[in-house]
């Protein structure tokens, strides 16, 4: 902004001077939601805002309860996906609790399971006094938010508001296992003096101590919950716009464009490849020829690895100058967009020139024949001497897609290898979902994420992907230590383990891991009849 001055102050200095401190968070999901709204407006003419998205849509909550939340703000992690079918949010305040409860503070303070049992009616909700009930009733007797801890300190332990604010400060600012210990005697004695039992006082303090591992203020959780709901609403009702916006906002979230695209396809979105004749820098929406009201998603040039944004902008500008007349050849495109051989090579390798010159091998040959660098010499047409290059095998195209765009719209790599996997007893994710809890299983997939949270005591959570969806693994510490090389180094991971299911939540407890990454090398020779 013109004439704007920015001064950086330490938060403790602000406190010493008595100045108000307001935290303003810049979130990638805010940008993604804005982009999704813009895409919907451009496609349908409907202008949505955070305030006008229809509230409390049952279809959105149905989707959330199924943990169908890839890409949705805050509830797309493994831990959140495991919680959603158990907590089963049906209203906005349920999302506020969902956001806040899967945090180190509530987890370390042993608040999660009591809340779930009480919500399911498996455990009675009791309160030692009317004052405590007034503080904890909305969260079924379990302190989940920082404000509740402060209120408990006031009503149950006799803290003054100033002392309660000091307690809040000790809980905030990411102070791990520190800053709360000196409150223990004051809290416990205060509760005992007011007639509360020693057991209740110590349990409350242990829960408060958990907030030293970072707990949420309720106002913060409510703000986040709004973005949870709006992003879930977009995923449910505008999946093409939502997926396009997520890709255009990368890097963000847990999932790469490949997983976002595959999830969109599983939700019925038609995804169209990168094409120099139609693609912009960003992913866009296109009307479908079948008169469907739902748009198709056109992948953008931003996904072409090695292609500079400036080169892509020149390409789009040159295409607009042609006023609807398509480029006739790669040479003409290179001339009119001032693209050098390197940029053209990136486009050919990504398959983006297929509409001008055919398959990858042919377009790569054409790009290799381009003359010079910028500016490229005028096109010279030679009728003879064009080699008869065979089309790439399916596996070659899949490998090239991943290498040059990070994703493929062809068959999933695991689908190409399925016969090999089946021959060795590795079942797919669709088959896993039909098996009973406790079954011994063998399965395999591409490694998508590995997570080892500090609160998980050495447990590693792995997400695999095959042609039907995702497979969630739990790898205990001893298995991870014994088979570290396969766990850390595999791109294609096979395993033997035990299936565990709790309601709609399913995962595999890994017992033996095997690195199958070498099998990916056989993709290059794979065709549709690969065995």
Q: Is residue 516 part of a domain?
A: yes
> pLDDT-derived band of residue 386, with 50, 70 and 90 as boundaries?
low
Query: 285 has which bridge partners?
Result: 297
Higher pLDDT pick, 12 / 313: 313
**Residue given tokens 């009616």 in the structure block:** 121
Instruction: For the chain, report the end-to-end CA distance as a whole number of angstroms.
Output: 62
Q: Is residue 353 part of a domain?
A: no
Higher pLDDT pick, 82 / 371: 82
Mean pLDDT along residues 382-396: 68
Q: Is residue 331 part of a domain?
A: no
pLDDT tens digits for 491-513?
Answer: 999 999 999 987 778 899 999 99
- Which one of 165, 187, 215 terminates a domain? 215
Quote the mean pLDDT of the chain: 86
pLDDT tens digits for 110-157?
Answer: 678 888 899 988 889 988 889 989 999 999 988 888 888 888 889 888
Q: Is residue 280 part of a domain?
A: no
pLDDT tens digits for 263-274?
Answer: 999 999 999 999
- Number of domains into which the chain is organized: 2
- Which one of 215, 236, 269 terminates a domain? 215
pLDDT tens digits for 164-207?
Answer: 888 777 765 444 445 566 778 888 889 888 888 888 888 887 77
Query: 406 Cβ partners below 8 Å, 6+ apart?
Result: 256, 257, 258, 303, 305
> pLDDT-derived band of residue 78, with 50, 70 and 90 as boundaries?
confident
Residue 375 has pLDDT above 60, yes or no: no
Which phi and psi (to 5°) does residue 386 adopt?
A: -80, 120
CATH number reported for the structural domain that contains residue 431 in this entry: 2.40.50.140
Which residue, among 444, 414, 445, has the nearest Cα to 526 in the 3D structure? Answer: 414
| Cα distance between residue 77 and residue 456, in whole Å | 14
Give the pLDDT of residue 531. 32
Q: Is residue 200 part of a domain?
A: yes
| Cα distance between residue 442 and residue 241, in whole Å | 37
pTM metric for this prediction: 0.87
Give the pLDDT of residue 21. 82
Q: Is residue 403 part of a domain?
A: no
Residue 522 has pLDDT above 90, yes or no: no
- Which one of 215, 247, 262 terminates a domain? 215
Which residue, among 456, 464, 520, 524, has the nearest Cα to 494 in the 3D structure? Answer: 464
Provide the token pair at 266. 């599983």
Domain limits at 127?
104-215
Mean pLDDT along residues 361-388: 61
Give the pLDDT of residue 215. 66
Q: Is residue 519 part of a domain?
A: yes
* DSSP class per residue in 484-510: HHHHHH-SEEEEEEEEEEETTEEEEEE
Q: What is the percentage of the chain residues whose pLDDT exceeds 90?
A: 47
**Residue given tokens 């997939």 in the structure block:** 445
Is residue 510 a contact partner of residue 474, using CB atoms and an 8 Å limit? yes
Q: Is residue 490 part of a domain?
A: yes
Higher pLDDT pick, 40 / 519: 40
Provide the token pair at 384. 């003879």
pLDDT tens digits for 98-113?
Answer: 998 887 656 655 678 8
Is residue 299 a contact partner of residue 320, using CB atoms and an 8 Å limit? no
- Name the 3-class secondary structure at 346: helix
pLDDT tens digits for 407-459?
Answer: 999 999 999 999 999 999 999 999 998 898 899 999 999 998 888 876 667 88
pLDDT tens digits for 219-244?
Answer: 889 999 999 999 999 999 999 999 99
Q: What's the burial of 56, exposed, middle or buried (CB within 10 Å: 0-12/13-18/19+)?
A: exposed
Is residue 239 a contact partner of residue 264, using CB atoms and an 8 Å limit? yes
Residue 8 has pLDDT above 90, yes or no: no
Provide the token pair at 298. 């056109």
Q: What's the burial of 201, exposed, middle or buried (CB within 10 Å: 0-12/13-18/19+)?
A: buried
Give the pLDDT of residue 377. 45
């Amino acid at each position: 902004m013109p004439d704007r001055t920015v001064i950086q102050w330490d938060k403790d200095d602000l406190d010493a001077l008595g100045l108000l401190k307001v935290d303003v968070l810049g979130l990638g999901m805010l940008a993604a939601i804005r982009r999704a709204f813009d895409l919907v407006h451009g496609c349908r003419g409907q202008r949505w805002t955070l305030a006008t998205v229809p509230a409390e849509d049952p279809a959105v909550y149905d989707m959330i309860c199924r943990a169908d939340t890839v890409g949705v703000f805050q509830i797309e992690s493994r831990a959140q996906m495991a919680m959603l079918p158990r907590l089963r949010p049906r209203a906005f305040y349920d999302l506020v609790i969902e956001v806040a409860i899967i945090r180190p503070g509530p987890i370390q303070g042993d608040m999660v399971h009591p809340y779930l049992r009480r919500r399911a009616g498996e455990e009675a909700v009791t309160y030692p006094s009317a004052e405590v009930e007034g503080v904890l009733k909305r969260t079924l007797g379990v302190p989940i938010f920082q404000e509740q801890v402060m209120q408990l300190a006031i009503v149950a332990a006799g803290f003054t508001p100033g002392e309660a604010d000091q307690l809040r400060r000790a809980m905030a600012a990411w102070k791990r296992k520190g800053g709360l210990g000196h409150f223990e005697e004051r809290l416990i004695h205060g509760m005992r003096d007011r007639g509360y039992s020693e057991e209740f006082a110590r349990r409350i303090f242990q829960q408060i101590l958990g907030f030293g591992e970072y707990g949420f203020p309720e106002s913060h959780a409510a703000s986040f919950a709004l973005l949870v709901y709006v992003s879930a609403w977009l995923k449910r009702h505008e999946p093409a716009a939502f997926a396009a916006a997520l890709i255009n906002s990368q890097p963000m979230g847990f999932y790469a464009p490949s997983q976002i695209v595959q999830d969109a396809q599983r939700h019925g979105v038609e995804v169209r490849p990168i094409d120099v004749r139609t693609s912009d820098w960003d992913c866009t929406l296109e009307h479908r020829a079948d008169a469907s009201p739902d748009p198709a998603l056109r992948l953008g040039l931003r996904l072409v690895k090695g292609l500079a944004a400036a080169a892509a902008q020149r390409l789009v500008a040159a295409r607009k100058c042609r006023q609807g007349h398509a480029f006739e050849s790669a040479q003409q495109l290179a001339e009119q967009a001032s693209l050098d051989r390197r940029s053209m090579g990136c486009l050919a390798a990504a398959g983006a020139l297929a509409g001008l010159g055919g398959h990858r091998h042919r377009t790569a040959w054409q790009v290799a024949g381009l003359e010079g660098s910028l500016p490229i010499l005028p096109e010279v047409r030679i009728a003879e001497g064009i080699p008869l290059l065979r089309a790439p095998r399916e596996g070659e195209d899949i490998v090239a897609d991943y290498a040059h765009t990070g994703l493929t719209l062809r068959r999933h790599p695991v689908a190409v290898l399925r016969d090999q996997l089946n021959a060795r007893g590795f079942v797919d994710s669709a088959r896993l979902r039909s098996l009973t809890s406790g079954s011994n299983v063998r399965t395999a997939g591409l490694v998508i994420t590995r997570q080892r949270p500090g609160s998980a005591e050495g447990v590693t959570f792995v997400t695999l992907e095959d042609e039907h969806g995702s497979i969630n693994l739990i790898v205990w510490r001893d298995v991870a230590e014994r088979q570290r090389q396969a766990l850390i180094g595999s791109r294609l991971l096979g395993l033997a383990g035990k299936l565990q299911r709790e309601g709609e939540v399913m995962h595999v407890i890994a017992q033996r891991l095997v690195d199958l990454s070498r099998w990916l090398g056989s993709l290059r020779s794979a065709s549709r009849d690969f065995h």
